[in-house]
């Protein structure tokens, strides 16, 4: 039976792994922006049984060039090769998780959707939820799996690029831009990652961590729907563009929208790190 939500619970994932382990690929997307090796090291210390590690810098991004953002979209043929090497084919249920409230797992989920893969999920609550349930973990390197035949298919999600978005912003005709960064960075305060502080003029702020409860699980669909409908102010999700600092936590808002049943929003992959690096890009500060 098809699983309609992009989230899976610990019990659901445990059932999948018990019933059809060969049809499920679990990806540990743990990462640390302050230490690029920390995610892999944490994986070696503890990960879900049979999981493989997938890295934000190595697998889920391409090389930045100074004007395309800090985490440009990856080379998708290379990503497809990685997924095939890890054992995925085009029917595999791929479940991503992390240790950071789905901050990086959501990026993996969105990229799988961009690669045309509908059977993409995020483990709600991540590693913490698995361990809280008293389930076992493994250490060391990933166990080898038989390579799969994963291939790219038509994208299931859409993007908007800088060249398209900037003239619309300048003309005052842009779709609603929703910024997933913390409120202080949105206002242009305490900016430590990018050279310029502030936000895209006309943007609204929806801090991605507000999608989670105190246990690090996503809020109920009705609560997420109410929160995002407040942000959207009568617009549909398809009339909105999600962005953040570098196109990572924006995927968290895209995932939350999907959980809420509000599909169709686009991602601006370069996000603030690209916008603020381009000469002459308009900048706003303060509240939305």
96 and 172 housed in the same domain: no
Find the domain containing 228 and state its range: 162-277
Question: Across residues 184-199, what is the average pLDDT?
Answer: 93
Confirm whether 229 is domain-assigned.
Answer: yes
Question: Which stretches of 68-206 are DSSP H helices?
Answer: 76-85, 105-114, 126-132, 162-171, 183-187
| Residues 113 and 187 placed together within one structural domain of the fold | no
CATH number where 270 lies: 3.40.250.10
CB atoms within 10 A of CB 228: 22
Neighbours of 250 (CB within 10 A): 30
> Is it the case that residue 212 has pLDDT exceeding 80?
yes
Tell me, yes or no, whether 155 lies in a domain. no
Residue 48 pLDDT exceeds 70 = yes
Give 39's contacts (C-beta < 8 A, 6+ positions apart).
28, 29, 30, 31, 32, 53, 55, 56, 98, 104
| Residues designated as active site | 244
Tens of pLDDT, residues 74-97:
999 999 999 999 999 999 999 999
Token representation of residue 110: 């969105």
Overall pTM > 0.85: yes
Tens-place pLDDT, residues 108-162: 999 999 999 999 999 999 999 999 999 999 999 998 899 999 999 999 999 999 9
CA separation for the pair 82, 80 (Å, rounded): 5
User: Alpha-carbon distance 173 to 184, whole Å?
Assistant: 26
| Domain count across the chain | 2
In this structure, is residue 244 part of a structural domain? yes
Tell whether 287 is covered by a domain.
no
pLDDT at 288: 61
Structure tokens at 20: 């059809």
pLDDT digits (tens, 9 = 90+) for 28-43: 999 999 999 999 999 9
Local confidence band at 59 (pLDDT 50, 70, 90 cut-offs) = very high
pLDDT confidence band for 195 (50 / 70 / 90): confident
Does residue 124 share a domain with residue 17?
A: yes
Q: Which pLDDT does position 1 carry in this prediction?
A: 46
From CA 102, how far away is CA 229, in angstroms rounded? Answer: 22
CA nearest neighbour of 56 among 70, 46, 77, 44: 70
């Amino acid at each position: 039976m098809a699983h309609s939500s992009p989230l899976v619970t610990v019990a659901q994932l445990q059932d999948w792994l018990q019933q059809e382990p060969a049809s499920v690929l679990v990806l540990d997307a743990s990462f640390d922006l302050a230490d690029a090796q920390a995610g892999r090291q944490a994986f070696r210390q503890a990960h879900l049984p049979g999981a493989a590690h997938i890295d934000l810098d190595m697998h889920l991004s391409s090389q930045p060039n100074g004007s395309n953002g800090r985490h440009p979209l990856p080379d998708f043929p290379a990503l497809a090769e990685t997924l095939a090497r890890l054992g995925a084919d085009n029917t595999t249920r791929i479940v991503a998780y992390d240790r950071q409230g789905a901050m990086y797992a959501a990026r993996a989920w969105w990229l799988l959707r961009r690669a045309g893969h509908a059977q993409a999920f995020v483990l709600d609550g991540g590693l913490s939820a698995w361990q809280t349930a008293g389930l076992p973990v493994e250490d060391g390197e990933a166990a080898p799996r038989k390579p799969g035949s994963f291939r790219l298919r038509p994208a299931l999600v859409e993007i908007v690029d800088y060249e398209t978005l900037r003239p619309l912003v300048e003309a005052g005709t842009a779709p609603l831009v929703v910024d997933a960064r913390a409120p202080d960075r949105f206002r242009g305060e305490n900016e430590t990652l990018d050279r310029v502080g502030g936000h895209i003029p006309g943007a609204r702020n929806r801090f991605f961590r507000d999608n989670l409860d105190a246990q690090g699980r996503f809020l109920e669909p009705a609560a997420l729907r109410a929160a995002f409908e407040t942000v959207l102010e009568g617009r549909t999700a398809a009339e909105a563009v999600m962005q953040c600092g570098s196109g990572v936590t924006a995927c968290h808002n895209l995932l939350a929208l999907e959980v809420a049943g509000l599909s169709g929003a686009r991602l601006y992959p370069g996000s603030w790190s690209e916008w603020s690096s381009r000469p002459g890009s308009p900048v706003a500060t303060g509240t939305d």
